[in-house]
Amino acid sequence: MFNDRSSTLDLLRTRRSGRPRDLVDPGPSPDELRRILEIAIRSPDHGKLHPWRFVHVPRSRRDSFAAMLQDAYRLGTPTPGRLEVEAVDRFAHQAPELVVALSSPKDNAKIPLWEQELSCGAACMNLILAAHAFGYAAGWVTGWAAYSDAVLRAFGAPPERIAGFIFIGTPAITLEERPRPEYEEVVSEWQH
């Protein structure tokens, strides 16, 4: 049991997503990023399958990442406009750290695919919470790149799928609280 329950609850209560474009230096050190990822992999995992993987895209590889994204984007849009090209480049270079999360289901397992996908989501959430615990913010995004076969080939292969791009850094602006559902909208007592 945790000695400081209120701090843990405050951590969970205060977590906010950061827009990747608003995440700046400093980002996690290599040691902090490793610890964040070690926490991420401590997620519920029925069958001990670890049906997910994380791929770190360091800053030194962001230009290559951007070039790969540009090539992938051009497969669907052979003559993109200047603003589209700039948007793809901005996406690749935002935030100090980038982790690509992959759902990596095990086909021959007895565990249903849905449970494996839930485990991937839980691992991503652990990553985001760990980043917050270290004093950073994270933004988990998808967009066209998460559904691009060409982008997937840069990181893995089917049946894997990109679960998202998780950007990590220090918020340059105050993180906004977004509207949350009212308790009664999403919680009920079973009456049958």
Q: Which of 167, 38, 46, 35 is nearest to 101 (CA)?
A: 167
CATH topology of domain 17-62+95-172: NADH Oxidase (3.40.109)
- How crowded is residue 20: how many other Cβ atoms within 10 Å of its Cβ? 22
- Render pLDDT for 57-104 as a digit per residue (tens, 0 to 9): 999 999 999 999 999 999 999 999 999 999 999 999 999 999 999 999
pLDDT bucket at 3, cuts 50 / 70 / 90 = low
Task: Name the burial class of residue 181, with classes exposed (0-12), middle (13-18) and buried (19+) by CB atoms within 10 angstroms of its CB.
Answer: exposed
In whole angstroms, give the CA distance from residue 133 to residue 180.
21
Alpha carbon distance 35, 28 (integer Å): 10
Q: What is the mean pLDDT of the chain?
A: 95
DSSP assignment of the chain, as one string? Answer: --S-HHHHHHHHHH--B--GGGEES----HHHHHHHHHHHT-S--TTS---EEEEE--GGGHHHHHHHHHHHHHHH-SS--HHHHHHHHHHHH-SSEEEEEEE---TTSSS-HHHHHHHHHHHHHHHHHHHHHTT-EEEEE-SGGGG-HHHHHHH--TT-EEEEEEEEEEESSPPPPPP---HHHH------
d(CA 86, CA 60): 19
Per-residue pLDDT tens digits for 135-179? 999 999 999 999 999 999 999 999 999 999 999 999 999 998 989
Please report the pLDDT score of residue 108 as a whole number: 82
Q: What are the domain boundaries of the chain?
A: 17-62+95-172
